[in-house]
A and B are shown apart, each in its own frame.
Chain A
Amino acid sequence: MDILKTLLYLFVYPGLLFLLIYSTFCEWFDRKLYARFQNRMGPLHTGQSGILQPIADIIKLLFKEDIVPEKADKSIFSALPVFGLAIVCTAALYLPVWHYSTKVSFNSFPGDLIVVAFLLSLPTLIFFLAGWHSTNFFATIGAVRVLTMLFGYEVPLLLALLSPAILADSWRLSEIAAFYQANPFLLLANILGFCIAVITLQAKLERVPFDIPHAETEIVGGVFTEYSGKKLAFFRLLSDIEMVVGAGLIATVFMAGFPGGLWWGLLNFVIKTMIVIFLLSAMRAACSRIRIDQMVSFSWRYLAPLAVLQIFIIIILKGFLR
């Protein structure tokens, strides 16, 4: 029975199948919102209000010609999209959505917060390697920009995730979520951290205003310039799933997780991640792309000090609570 449950966990919910379906839904949601913010219609024709458009796009890409540059390292070039997809899917398994209990198991143990954060920063390295191994000028510039940006946003993001963990006195996602479910008012203490986390998540996902590594008017496709066909489809899926997992992580840490077992938990998960994605889309519609040096100085000058301030607030608050 346990094995069946584990298999279900891995492949159906919240594993592969659910992730694929839900991430394409989220892409549709994001695209539709972005379009409506811009006074456009957005996807319209495939399915009800174009809800199947992202799936149709991915299927279309799977049938497209797949080109590998001659100078590129063929095996690495082809393996990277698959690796990236596997990494973000693995990260999704640690989100305390379903099938976790107070006892330590393979998907819930002290320190899994750090594991998820680590797994979420790996796609950035995958992007870097993808750009570097394309041997294309634009892709190389994109790759360098990916790494430069990583140094900008990674520290504020980790600091922001840290503060709720300090207050909950745990490094385990399910325990953090349970703590805030018991004391929902303490969530208000983390508002600043929440804002920082949403901004840095936007940078991690490389969307406007932080879409510097693949700014189309500057460096064509950035790291994805040489990618086409199936590999590009994998990268797109990777970005979608990364968005869901990132939103899920923020919802777990800052929004008290997803209580209520299978069905209520699912509803909680969908609503909370969609709130985060709504914020991400709004930010994308309201800003223009900034320059790489502006991005790095922004995150070190404002985001990192604010994240430290948040930690101080939490530590002082903790002192009072005792």
Chain B
Amino acid sequence: MEEFTVPIGPQHPALKEPISLRMTFDGEVVKHVDVRLGYNHRGMEKMAEERSYIQNLYLTERICGICSHSHTTCFAQGVEKLMEIEPPKRGLYIRTLVAEIERVHSHLLWLGVAGHEAGFDTFFMYTWRDREIVMDILESISGNRVHYAINTFGGVRRDISETQKQTILDSLSLLKQRTDYYANIGTTEPTFVARIKGVGKLSKELALSLCAVGPTVRASGIKSDVRKDDPYAVYNELPFEVCTADTGDVLGRVVVRVNELFECYKMIEFMLKNLPAGDIAVKAPRRVKENEVVSRYEAPRGENLHYIKSNGTDKPERLKVRAPTLANYPATVEMLKGCFIADIPLIFAAIDPCICCAERMVELVNDKNGEANIVSFSDLKKLASEQYKKCGNKPEPVSIAKQLEKIRRKS
């Protein structure tokens, strides 16, 4: 069989968001991978330069739907440094609490996705059922299920009451029990383990030289975690271990994430039991002196970096966002080489890709003349069928226009 190139994406059932992976196959084996980004680009960095700091806080929240809190926290703690204010302890505790609950939600979601990519839909349904519990906790704390909007400059926006504490602790014990069960299934179910063991190997040296981050690099045996290395918020007071695995395959990444779940439960419990009294926020100024700051944050997928440069006004001069997924692409390309077609979705899912995180810059892809034009539906259809013909397939001429005409005539 000769080699042939196949586009996996921008639309493919294994990819939940658009990215183009152009793969060259030799039979069922992948020979070469080429990544092309930009399908989900929204111009956030450019937009941030034209918005005030408090507006940008809500803009950064929209970078990602799953780790929305991590981007706002990263941004907020950077801006707080620029403003030279220190949030009160209670505010920091609540901020960290939400961050860890978000990590639980993200890891449970990922476990389900991994199951689904391996064709293990039962696992997917079970973990996503329990993710609902986490979402409910987050809703009770912040009022929202996805974009929590709990952060503000100088603290958080909502307090936690005693009854809320108790309900969270109750749901936590249930979650712990269930996670035990998933840890058991994810690492022992024979058909599932057969699919993930030894797949997508990433050696320690390669992980280091390709600058991979998060659970991907921890599964290769490197103890890298911003929460420990560069402690922010209240992480220097919390009891937790950095979870690693030595196998460097997808199974290792499952193990790391499951162990991190248990660490999260430990931290959440500790934070709820030792929540200090006091204010939750201090007042923040509107204008920021000219300065620059590098803010780091360990998101569920790996390290976030926000570089913020201020210029003395109420708008930032530059906001640079580095999401963890972008850092993991070079490693993914290496992992995909030499794998089977059946392993592609698993390996790609194992870095927990969040394409909308990784791409943020230009607003609305515009035309050659620099303007976006409104395309009529018929033009769009013509374009689509031309594109389809180019690929070698042609739709049967069942005209939608004719059907519309029919409907119109009837009415």
Interface residues, chain A, CB within 8 Å of chain B? 37-40, 65-71, 135-137, 141, 208-209, 211-212, 215-220, 226, 285-294
Contact = CB atoms under 8 A, between A and B. Distances in A.
Contacts of A290: 191, 194-195
A294 B341 contact: no
A289 B118 contact: yes
A30 B116 CA distance: 19
Interface centre among B4, B14, B121, by most chain A C-beta atoms within 10 angstroms, is B121
A165 B13 CA distance: 44
Interface string B109-141: 000000111111111011001000000000000
A218 B14 contact: yes
Contacts of B395: 67
B6 A137 contact: yes
B252 interface: no
Given A38-B125, A285-B122, A291 B342 contact: yes
A70 B119 contact: no
Contacts of B394: 69-70
A39 B13 contact: no
B396 A66 contact: yes
B137 to A, nearest CB: 20
Nearest to B15: A217
A218 B344 contact: yes
Contacts of A292: 28, 340, 342
A65 B396 CA distance: 9
Contacts of A288: 115, 118-120, 123, 189, 191-192, 195
Contact of B191 (A69, A209, A293): A209
B120 A219 contact: no
A contact patch SS = loop
Contacts of B393: 69-71, 135-136, 226
A218 B342 CA distance: 6
A67 B340 contact: no
Nearest to A209: B191
Interface string B182-205: 000000010110110000000000
B384 to A, nearest CB: 13
A256 B118 CA distance: 37
A302 to B, nearest CB: 12
Contacts of B191: 209, 287-290
A238 to B, nearest CB: 22
A66 B398 CA distance: 9
B195 A289 contact: yes
Contacts of B13: 216-217, 220
B121 A215 contact: no
Contact of B120 (A65, A141, A287): A287
A31 to B, nearest CB: 12
A209 B335 CA distance: 25
Given A137-B4, A294-B195, 20 more contacts: A38-B121, A40-B125, A65-B398, A67-B395, A70-B392, A71-B392, A135-B392, A135-B393, A211-B119, A215-B119, A215-B342, A218-B345, A285-B122, A287-B192, A288-B118, A288-B120, A289-B342, A290-B195, A291-B343, A292-B340
A65 B402 CA distance: 14
Contacts of A291: 194-195, 340, 342-343
B12 interface: yes
Nearest to B195: A288
Interface string B247-281: 00000000000000000000000000000000000
Given A212-B342, A218-B14, A289 B396 contact: no
A150 B244 CA distance: 41
A209 B395 CA distance: 33
A68 to B, nearest CB: 6
A208 B195 CA distance: 13
A277 B192 CA distance: 23
A287 B191 CA distance: 6
Contacts of B195: 288-291, 294
Contacts of A65: 396, 398
A292 B395 CA distance: 32
B119 A38 contact: no
A218 B341 contact: yes
A134 B109 CA distance: 35
Nearest to B1: A144
Interface string B396-410: 101000000000000
B88 to A, nearest CB: 42
